Amino acid sequence: MTLISALDVTDVRFPTSRDLDGSDAMNPEPDYSAAYIVLRTDDAAVAGCSLLFTTGRGNDVACAAVRTLAPYVVGRDVADLVADVGSLARALTWDGQLRWLGPEKGVMHMAIGAVVNAAWDLRARLDGQPLWRVLASLSPEEIVRQIDFAYIEDALTPSEALALLEASAAGRAMRTTTLEASGLPAYTTSAGWLGYDDAKVARLVRESVAEGFTMVKLKVGGDVESDVRRLQVARVAAGEEAHIALDANQRWGVGQAIDWMAQLAEFEPYWIEEPTSPDDVLGHRAIRDAVHPIRVATGEHVQNRVIFKQLLQAGAIDVVQIDACRVGGVNENLAILLLAAKFGVPVCPHAGGVGLCEMVQHLAMFDFVAVSGRSEGRWIEYVDHLHEHFTDPVVVEAGRYRAPLAPGGGARLRDSSIAEFRFPDGPAWASQQR
Amino acid sequence: MTLISALDVTDVRFPTSRDLDGSDAMNPEPDYSAAYIVLRTDDAAVAGCSLLFTTGRGNDVACAAVRTLAPYVVGRDVADLVADVGSLARALTWDGQLRWLGPEKGVMHMAIGAVVNAAWDLRARLDGQPLWRVLASLSPEEIVRQIDFAYIEDALTPSEALALLEASAAGRAMRTTTLEASGLPAYTTSAGWLGYDDAKVARLVRESVAEGFTMVKLKVGGDVESDVRRLQVARVAAGEEAHIALDANQRWGVGQAIDWMAQLAEFEPYWIEEPTSPDDVLGHRAIRDAVHPIRVATGEHVQNRVIFKQLLQAGAIDVVQIDACRVGGVNENLAILLLAAKFGVPVCPHAGGVGLCEMVQHLAMFDFVAVSGRSEGRWIEYVDHLHEHFTDPVVVEAGRYRAPLAPGGGARLRDSSIAEFRFPDGPAWASQQR
C-alpha cells in the first residue's frame, strides 16, 4: 500500500511584468505565477502535480489556502484516493469550517480545485495515460458519479447527464482517432495584448493567420478610439477569412459595454469576452440582447457551476469559457461541460497565464471525445509563452492543439524552472527587493 | 503628521465547537474566529481595529490575505487616509494582481473589507464618535463619493443615490433622537440552534419573547420531520404574536427548498433565510415565487454588490441581510444599503459569530437615520455569546439594540481575550494539538 506522504506547495512567480506580455485593461502588469503543488507519496517515483495560477501578488495567499487542505490527503492510501477523486472533491468543498471563506468561490475554492487536479494528475500518471484519455475512458455512470449536483439539479439532473453521456458514447472511439490525428483548433491571444503598438499587432496577426490560426483575439477596453484603430489594423491584417475575438477583461458596466461595442460592431468581431463583471448574469443577458449577432463569452473568472448554470438558464452567453484553475478542479469542470452540452452552448476554454494551456487542453479534448462530440465553433485559447517551463509543454501546430500523449494532467514544472523562479528566494527575484 | 506604522493581524479563535452553540445544517462544529486587525500609528494611543470573521480552519488564510494589503496603508498619513476611505477601498479592490484571487469575492475580498473597516474605526476614534454617527453626519454628496458604482450603474446611478439620500436628509436629526432614546429592534437566533433539543428550544423561545424579542429564528434543513416538530414546539412557545424566522444555511437545491418549505408553511414562518446557494439569483427568484407569502432572505454569504444588485433586479428576495465582514467593508455596504432603498427592500443585518453584532449595528443605525428612515419590518440579528471579549460590547435590552455611544466601529477585542484565544499558542489552544 502506497500512502500520500506530503502536500508540497511552492510559490513560483515569473516576472512577466518586465515586458508587456499579458497586459490587458484590467491587468496592466501581471507577474504570471503559480502556487505549485506536488502530492508526494511513499514511492519517490510517484507524485501528482498541479498548479493554481495567479497574476503575482497574493500567490502566497493561494499557497496558504492549499496548505489548509493537507489533512484531507496526507496519510491517505493512494489507490483509494485516485479511484474516487469525486469523494475527495466533495469532502474539500463541504468542509464545515473552510466553507466560510467562499463558499465555493475565490482563492479558497481555487485551492480546492488545485488539490483535486493534483489527484487527477496522480491518477493519470499511475494509469500511464494523458488525463484526457483517462477521463474519456470512464463510463457514463462513472463520470456522473464524479459530479456534485448540489445547486444545479434544477438545470441538470444526474439522469439527464447520464443520457447526454450515453448519447455520445458510441462515437468516442472514432473521435479519439480524429483527435489523435488532427488535434483541436486553437485561437491565439499572443497578437493582441493592450501594451503592443499597432505595427506589432499587425505583424503578429498576419503571422498567426499565415501559421494556420482561424481566430485571433484582441484586448480592448482601455480607450475606445484606440480600440477602433487597433481593430481596424487587425482586421486588415487578418483578412476576411479569419475571425477576430475581443476581450474587455471586465472593464465595463452594462450600459458602457453596449455603447462601446456599438462602435466596434462594424468590424464584425466573433465574440466579446468578459464585457462586464463575471458575477453579473443579468448584465450579460442585457449585453447579449444588445450586441447580437456578436456573441458574448465569459468564464475564466466565473467562480463555480452555480453562476455558469444561471448564465446558461438566462440565455446570457453564447460561449462557455472554462478555466482549469478557477473552479473546484476537474470534477466541477465536468459539471460545467455537461451543463453547456445540455444548453447546446459551445465550450472554448480560457488558457494562457502559466500552465493553463497545458491543463485545460485535456478538458477540451474530453469534451470533444465524450460530451459535445463537436469541434465546430470551438477553439482552445493559446498564448505562446512560458511553455518551456513544463516537462510536457503543449504542442500547437498550424493553429491546432495536438493531443498530448505524455501521462498526467500537464502541469508538471521543470525542477530548474522552480529553482530559478521560486519567490522570493529564486535567482530571478533575489536581486529585486519588493 | 501622524503616519500608519503597521497593519497587525492576529489569528484569534474561540473553541465554540466544544458546545453546540452556533450549530446549523451547514456549520455543524464552528470555532468562531477572527483575523483580528490593528492599524497602528506613530501615536501609540491612536489605532484602528477591525476583524474578519471566520468559523475556524482557514483563519490563517484570512490573516495571510490581510497581510498582502499592508503596502496600501503602512507609511500613509493618517489624516489623509481617514479623510477619504473610499479611495483606499477602491485602490484595494482594483489592485491589478490581487484582483485575480476574486475578483471581489471570497477571502481576499473579505480581507479588503476588514482593512477598510479598520480605517473607518480609526476615523471614528479620531472623531470621538461611534461609527454610525460619523456616517450619519456625512452629507449626501460625501456619502455618494464613498461608493464605487462599478457594475451597479444599470440599477443605481450616483444621481439616484444622491436623490435617495437627499430625500431622507431632513429627518436625520429627529431619527437620531429616536434612535438614541429607544434603539432598534433585534431578533434572536440564540434559541434555535440545530444542536439544541426540543425542551431547550421551547424554554429559550419563551424566555426570548418574555424578554421583549418580537422575532426569534430557528435553524432548519437537517431533517424535515425534525424541523416540523421543532417549529411546532417553537410556535407554541412563541405564542401568536411573535414572528418565527427560519434559516436553512444554504442546505437545499431549488426544488428541495420549495418542497421542504411546503411542509413548514402551516406554521407561518416570517422568512426563509439562505434556502439555497447565495450565488443563485434565479434560484432565489424561483423559490420566492413558490413560497409566497413566506419571505425569502439572504445576504450573509452574498459576496458583493453585484450579486445583491441582481437579487433586487430579479425580485428574488424580500429581505437584504448585509454582513459587516463579507463584502468590501463599510463602503460596499453603503452601496448595498442604497440599492436596497432604491428597490424598497428592508435591510435586516446578519450578525452573531464573533464581533458581527458589534460591527453591523452601526450600519443598521446609519440606514435608519440616513437612508431608509424606517424601522418597521427591520430587525438586527442578535446572538448572545462572545460579547464579553469586546471593549465595547453591544447592549441589547428588551429585544432592542441600544445605540452605541463609545467611539469607533465596535470591533475592538480586549487584550486579555487576544492573549487567551490566540491560535495556536494561546492557553485556550495550547493544550490541544490539532
Residues A192 and A282 placed together within one structural domain of the fold: yes
Q: Does a structural domain hold residue A431?
A: no
Percent share of chain A, pLDDT over 90: 93
Report if residue A238 sits inside a domain.
yes
Average pLDDT over residues B242-256: 97
Instruction: Say whether pLDDT at B27 is over 90.
Output: no
A427 inside domain? no
Q: How far is CA A308 from CA A13, A158, B4, B306, in A?
A: 30, 17, 42, 16
| pLDDT > 80? residue A421 | yes
d(CA A379, CA A84): 30
For residue range A335-348, list pLDDT tens digits in order. 999 999 999 999 99
Digit-coded pLDDT (tens) for B371-407: 999 999 999 999 998 999 999 999 999 999 999 999 9
Q: Is the pLDDT score of A396 beyond 90?
A: yes
pLDDT tens-digit readout, A230-241: 999 999 999 988
pLDDT at B20: 61
Distance from the B35 Cα atom to the nearest Cα atom in chain A, whole angstroms? 12
> Would you say residue B28 has pLDDT above 90?
no
| A221-225, B115-119, B191-195, B263-267: least confidently modelled range | B191-195
Look at residue A95 in the predicted model and tell me its pLDDT. 97
Asked whether A332 and A304 are in contact (CB, 8 A), the reply is yes
> Cα(A239)–Cα(A234) distance, rounded to whole angstroms?
8
A378 and A261, same structural domain?
yes
Q: Note the pLDDT of residue A173.
A: 98
Listed in sequence order, the residues at least 6 apart from B108 whose beta carbon sits closer than 8 Å to its beta carbon are A58, A61, A106, A107, B65, B98, B101, B102
CA angle B65, B129, B182 (to 5 degrees): 110
Residues of A in contact with B65 (CB under 8 A): 58, 61, 107
- Confirm whether B250 is domain-assigned: yes
- Residue A20: pLDDT band with limits 50, 70, 90: low
Q: What is the largest CA-CA distance in chain A?
A: 64
pLDDT tops 80 at residue A23: no
**pTM over cut 0.90:** yes
Q: DSSP assignment, residue A77?
A: B
Query: Are A320 and A231 members of one domain?
Result: yes
B154-174 residue pLDDT tens? 999 999 999 999 999 999 999
**Mean of pLDDT values over B74-83:** 98
| Whole-number Å distance between alpha carbons of A251 and A240 | 28
Across the range B203-225, mean pLDDT stands at 96
Distance from CA of B211 to the nearest CA of A (A): 32
Cβ neighbours of B272 (radius 10 Å): 29
A143 with A182, same domain?
Answer: no
Give me chain B's average pLDDT, please: 96
Assess contact for B196 and B222: CB atoms under 8 A.
no
Residue A431 is predicted with a pLDDT of 72
**Is residue B230 in some structural domain?**
yes
Measured CA to CA, the distance from residue A188 to residue B291 in angstroms comes to 49
Are the beta carbons of A113 and A332 closer than 8 angstroms? yes
Per-residue confidence band for B432, with pLDDT thresholds at 50, 70 and 90: low
pLDDT of residue B434: 45
* Side chain identity, residue A252: W
Residue-wise pLDDT tens digits, A85-109: 999 999 999 999 999 999 999 999 9
Distance from the Cα of residue B369 to its chain's centroid: 18
Q: What is the count of structural domains for chain A?
A: 2
Task: Based on the residue annotation, tell me whether A292 is a catalytic residue of this protein.
Answer: no
Query: What pLDDT, on a 0 to 100 scale, did the predictor assign at position B169?
Result: 96
**Cβ separation of B68 and A57 shorter than 8 Å?**
yes
Residue A406 has pLDDT above 50, yes or no: yes
Considering the domain architecture, whether residues A20 and A65 belong to the same structural domain is answered as yes
- Residues A143, A186 share a domain: no
**Which of A97, A99, A157 is best to mutate for the B interface (most B CBs within 10 A)?**
A97
Whether B21 shows a pLDDT value over 80: the answer reads no
* A74 and A204 share one domain: no
Residues A148 and A182 in one domain: no
Contact indicator for B61, B11 with CB cutoff of 8 Å: no
Percent of chain B with pLDDT strictly greater than 90: 93
A288 close to A316: Cβ distance less than 8 angstroms: yes
- Residue closest to B294 by CA, chosen among B273, B278, B315: B273
Residue A409 near residue A47, CB atoms below 8 Å: no
pLDDT tier for residue B192 given thresholds of 50, 70 and 90? confident
Q: For residue B129, is it within any domain?
A: no
Res B24: pLDDT? 72
Taking residues A415-431, report their average pLDDT. Answer: 95
- The whole-angstrom distance between B180's CA and the closest CA on chain A is 34
- Could you tell me the CA-to-CA distances from B123 to A224, B3, B119 in Å, in that order? 39, 13, 6
Same domain? For A144 and A176 the reply is no
- CATH number of the domain encompassing residue A117: 3.30.390.10
Chain B positions touching A281 (Cβ under 8 A) are 281-282, 310
**Percentage of residues in chain B having pLDDT higher than 70:** 98
CATH of the domain at B286: 3.20.20.120
Mean pLDDT of chain A: 96
User: Could you give the CA distance from residue B370 to residue B173 in angstroms, rounded to a whole number?
Assistant: 9
Which sign does the torsion angle of CA A339, A341, A346, A349 carry?
positive
B106 closest CB neighbour out of A31, A108, A153:
A108
Cell 485535456 identifies what position?
A: A362
Partner residue opposite A106 with nearest CB, options B101, B151, B282:
B101
Range of the domain at B374: 172-416
The arithmetic mean of pLDDT across residues A11-26, rounded, is 80
A275 and A323 assigned to the same domain: yes
pLDDT by residue (tens digit) across B101-139? 999 999 999 999 999 999 999 999 999 999 999 999 999
Residue whose C-alpha is closest to residue B188's, from B384, B24, B354: B384
Q: What pLDDT was estimated at residue A434?
A: 45
Residue A195's pLDDT is 80
Q: Minimal Cα–Cα distance from B416 to chain A, Å?
A: 25
Section B428-434 average pLDDT: 72
**Chain B residues touching A107 at Cβ < 8 A:** 61, 65, 101-102, 106-108
Q: Which residue of A has its CA nearest to B150?
A: A253
Q: Is residue B192 part of a domain?
A: yes
* pLDDT at residue B29, as a whole number: 87
Q: With contacts defined as CB-CB under 8 Å, which chain B residues touch A251?
A: none
- Spot the catalytic one: A219, A284, A309, A342: A219
In Å, what is the CA distance from A221 to each residue of A209, A263, A318? 24, 12, 20
- Whether A369 and A227 map to the same domain: the answer is yes
Cell numbers given for B176:
437620531
What are the tens digits of pLDDT across the range A62-93? 999 999 999 999 999 999 999 999 999 999 99
Q: What is the pLDDT of residues A327-377, one digit of tens each?
A: 999 999 999 999 999 999 999 999 999 999 999 999 999 999 999 999 999
Output the pLDDT for position B190.
87
Interface of A with B in 50-109 (CB under 8 A): 54-58, 60-62, 64-65, 68, 95-109
Residue B405 lies in a domain: yes
